[in-house]
Structure 1
Amino acid sequence: MKLIILDRDGVINEDSDAFIKTPDEWIPLPGSLDAIARLTKAGYTIVVATNQSGLGRGYFDIMTLNAIHQKMQNAVKAAGGQIEAIFFCPHTASDNCDCRKPRQGMFSTISERFDTPLEDVPSVGDSLRDLQAAFLAGCTPILVLSGKGKKTLENGGLPPKTIIFDDLSAVADHLLEADQKNSASRDKNTETP
Structure 2
Amino acid sequence: MADQNRANGCRPAIFLDRDGVINENLPHYVKSWDDVHILPGVLDALRTLRQTPFAVVVVTNQSAVNRGLLTLAVLHDMHTRLQAVIAEAGGQLDGIFYCPHRPDEGCACRKPQPGLLLQAATALHLDLARSYLVGDAITDLEAALAVGVQPLLVRTGRGANHAALLDTQTRTLCPVVNDLSQAIAWILDRSRNG
Q: Same fold (TM over 0.5)?
A: yes
Please, which moves more after superposition, 112-121 or 47-56?
Answer: 112-121
Q: 1:145 aligns with which of 155, 163, 178?
A: 155
Report the counterpart of residue 156 of structure 1 in structure 2.
166
Q: Percent identity?
A: 35
Any idea what the Cα deviations from partners look like across 1:77-120, whole Å, max 9, x if unmatched?
A: 11100000000000001110000000111111112112333114
Given that 1:41 and 1:81 are in contact with CA atoms closer than 8 Å, whether structure 2 keeps it comes out as no
Counterpart Cα distance in 2 of 1:176 and 1:43: 10
Work out the number of aligned pairs and report it: 182
Query: Which structure 2 residue ranges, 5 or more long, are not aligned?
Result: 1-10
Q: 1:175 aligns with which of 170, 174, 187?
A: 187
- Give 1:137 deviation, angstroms: 1.3
1:3 aligns with 2:13: yes
- Give 1:15 deviation, angstroms: 0.5
Given that 2:12 and 2:130 are in contact with CA atoms closer than 8 Å, whether structure 1 keeps it comes out as no
Mapping 1:7-86, distance limit 5 Å: 7-86=17-96
Report the counterpart of residue 116 of structure 2 in structure 1.
106
What value does the CA root-mean-square deviation take over the aligned residues?
Answer: 1.4
* Equivalent residue letter for 2:26: S
- Give 1:176 deviation, angstroms: 2.6
TM-score (norm 1): 0.89
Sort the Cα spacing of 1:75 and 1:41 in 2 relative to 1 into closer, same or farther, 3 A: same
Sort the Cα spacing of 1:161 and 1:36 in 2 relative to 1 into closer, same or farther, 3 A: same
Given that 1:127 and 1:152 are in contact with CA atoms closer than 8 Å, whether structure 2 keeps it comes out as yes
- Give 1:74 deviation, angstroms: 1.2
Larger Rg: 1
Report the counterpart of residue 121 of structure 1 in structure 2.
131
